[in-house]
Amino acid sequence: MITIIDYGMGNLRSVQKGFERVGLSAKVSADPRDVEKAERLVLPGVGAFRDCMANLRAGGFVEPIRAHVTAGRPFLGICLGLQLLFTQSEEFGHHQGLDLIAGKVVRFPADLRAGGETLKVPHMGWNQIAIRRPAPIFRGIEDGSAVYFVHSYYVVPDDPAVIAAETDYGRPFCAAVWQDNVIATQFHPEKSQQVGLKILENFGKM
C-alpha cells in the first residue's frame, strides 16, 4: 500500500488518482500512525515551505517520516515535498526543513534570462529533464522527456551526487534527487501525462 501524507497542503487526490490509473493502491491519510506502518510513503506539497513544515510538526509527522526513511522503505517527495527534505529554505526568511538531504532551497533570481529575454518566475509549464543518474523511477523514461513544473524555488544539494535529473530554466537546476531509498521530484508526475504515470508506476514497484 502507498500512503500519501495529508498534512493540509498538496494535490492529494490528483496524486492518488495517478497511482490508481496505473493499477496501484494508494490512500491519503492524516494519521501519523499510518505513516509509521506505510510500505511506501509519498510527501506531496504546494504552498510555503514554512507553513508546510509547521503543519508537519503540528500533525506529528516529522519523526514518523524520518523513521520511515531510516528503515529503508521507499519514499517519494513531490514539488514542495522535495524541498522539505532539505536542511533549510530561504523562502520568507530562513526555515529548517527535515534535513534528510543536506542542502538548501533558494529562489530563482528576478533577472533570470534566456535567449535575451527575461524569464517569468514562477517557472510554470512543461520543460525537459536531463537524466543524470539511473534512478529507479526513470526506468523506461527517455532522457529529454517533458514534465510539468510549478515553482519559484529550487534545491541546491550540498553533494551534487544526489542529483538524479536536471532541467534548464535560465540556468541548470536540480529537477530530481535520489539518495538510497529516497526519491523526490521538483516536477509534478501526477500532472505529467504518460511520462508522469510511468514514474509513479516505477515508484510503486520499488
Only one residue has cell 543536506, namely 102
- Annotated catalytic residue within 79, 91, 151, 174: 79
Q: How many CB atoms lie within 10 A of CB 23?
A: 8
The answer to whether the beta carbons of residues 78 and 15 sit under 8 Å apart is yes
Q: Does 39 qualify as catalytic in the annotation?
A: no
Output b/e per residue, 44-79; b: 16+ Cβ within 10 A.
bbeebbebbbebbeebebbebbeebbeeebbbbbbb
Position 24: which residue type?
L
Q: Does 68 qualify as catalytic in the annotation?
A: no
Spatial distance between the Cα atoms of 107 and 85, rounded to a whole number of angstroms: 16
Rounding to the nearest 10 degrees, give the CA dihedral for residues 44, 161, 134, 180.
-60
Would you state the cell numbers that stand for residue 131, as one nine-digit string?
537524466
Q: What is the largest CA-CA distance in the chain?
A: 52
Q: Does 188 qualify as catalytic in the annotation?
A: yes
The answer to whether the beta carbons of residues 5 and 42 sit under 8 Å apart is yes
- Annotated catalytic residue within 95, 174, 188, 201: 188
Residues identified as active-site? 79, 188, 190
